[in-house]
Amino acid sequence: MEDRKEEMKVVVPSFQVERYTQGLNRCLWGFVGLISMFSVGVGVVVSHMMFVSIFNVISTFMSDNSVVVLPALVVAFAIVFGVGLYHFFNNMTFAYRFDNDKIVRGQLIRSEKIKDSSLALEGLLTAYMAANIGDNGKFTGANSLKGVHRMIELIVQNMDQKFANAFFETDLYKKKAFLNPRLIKETKRSYIYQCDNKKRLKILKIYTGMATPKEGEKGKAIWKRVLSRSIFVFLVFAIIFAADLAIGLSQNAGHMEHIHQTVARLEDGLTDFGYIKEESTEKICEFQKKASSERTSSVKYVLDKNGEIDSVTFEVYFNRDSKNMPSEVAYLISSTNGGYSESDIAAFIDNVQKTIDGNFTYDKLESSNGKIVLSLSDGHAHVYKYS
């Protein structure tokens, strides 16, 4: 390696070297993160939700927590993508010159042709933006693509041995010298030097002259490693989500039984007040009745996987012809599980009756489950609750 350094003066990144040393292994997770963001998002998550719908599965961890799981996956893959890409771009724009008493690291910061000193910065910020994908105001998509394109141009030029030899000493490269380097550790993928002022320099084995392949060794190209890792990540998530679906299917019968029992109980209670069950899904049931020629009362229950009432919304109307108003209002209020006292419910019902009699009295019951409000609507006492 030493003889080749002397001949070339400057060492530059080489994919031919890297295929043997695999010095960029950690950086490749950036590309894996990008691929997995789409393959797992579309191939696994969407398929999971589709099978949940097809097999009418009441509950899986994914379906119950999709609001949290989906953003978490996107953010996790975006961070892996951003960090990995940042380090990949960084190392691929470095070149090194080895002298007797120092190592000079140069980073190509602008192209010989374009003469734009912000090229390297834009490329690094592009990777940084991917790692901070939640902040959409930092950069637009167009600027990101522009930055990536410019960074690719820098990498291509920096990998050109003749270009690096010709321009390393110019201001196209931002240089930093590491004095009196001593090699203190060598691994399969890197050299680590101890330099003056307690500085440590780690050089990945991706530069010309750093590969010593064994006889018959073919190495492994970057695209093959990215592909194999992406397939591995896909399979891991596919197995996890398949197991989640299988667990949901195994518990489905019990969930369905609990839900059907609750729906039957609600239907029995509301039928006494003239309500009819409308079409509903397993977790949502809605009841309606004609309160008058002008108004229709409706009650909607959302159930959890165990058949417990998760939320209630209703909009009901009463006039002088309404029957069993006190019992109906008491039943609806009690079904909200708002923890209201009997005196609170009785006072509310009394105000509903006053409103029906023509003496409108505004009233409101509040709890952690929402508000129940009494108002007036075209001569009707209007009682409603929204979640």
Question: What would the pLDDT profile of 272-322 be if each residue is shown by its tens digit?
Answer: 999 999 877 778 999 999 998 889 999 999 999 898 998 999 999 999 988
Which pLDDT band, with edges at 50, 70 and 90, does 2 fall under? very low
What is the model's pTM?
Answer: 0.74
Statement: residue 243 has pLDDT above 60 = yes
Smallest CA-to-CA distance from 86 within 118, 40, 139, 122 is with 122
Q: Answer yes or no: are the C-beta atoms of 372 and 352 closer than 8 Å.
A: no
DSSP state of 41: I
Question: What would the pLDDT profile of 332-380 be if each residue is shown by its tens digit?
Answer: 999 998 889 999 999 999 999 999 998 988 999 988 888 999 999 888 9
Statement: residue 130 has pLDDT above 70 = no
Question: What would the pLDDT profile of 40-54 be if each residue is shown by its tens digit?
Answer: 988 999 999 999 989
Q: Which long-range contacts (CB under 8 A, 24 or more apart) does 117-122 make?
A: 119/150, 119/151, 119/153, 119/154, 120/93, 120/151, 120/154, 120/174, 122/146, 122/147, 122/150, 122/151
Across the chain, mean pLDDT equals 87
Residues in CB range of 364: below 8 A, 6 or more apart:
371, 372, 373, 374
CA distance 370 to 347: 18
Question: What would the pLDDT profile of 189-215 be if each residue is shown by its tens digit?
Answer: 999 999 998 899 999 999 998 987 777
Statement: residue 127 has pLDDT above 70 = no
The amino acid at residue 54 is I
Which pLDDT band, with edges at 50, 70 and 90, does 4 fall under? very low
Question: What would the pLDDT profile of 260-275 be if each residue is shown by its tens digit?
Answer: 999 999 999 999 999 9
Residues in the chain: 387
Smallest CA-to-CA distance from 320 within 262, 380, 272 is with 380
Question: Phi then psi for 356, rounded to 5 degrees?
Answer: -60, -40
**Which of 102-116, 137-151, 195-209 is the most confident on average?**
195-209
pLDDT value of residue 6: 44
Question: What would the pLDDT profile of 227-237 be if each residue is shown by its tens digit?
Answer: 999 999 999 99
pLDDT value of residue 79: 94
Residues in CB range of 280: below 8 A, 6 or more apart:
263, 286
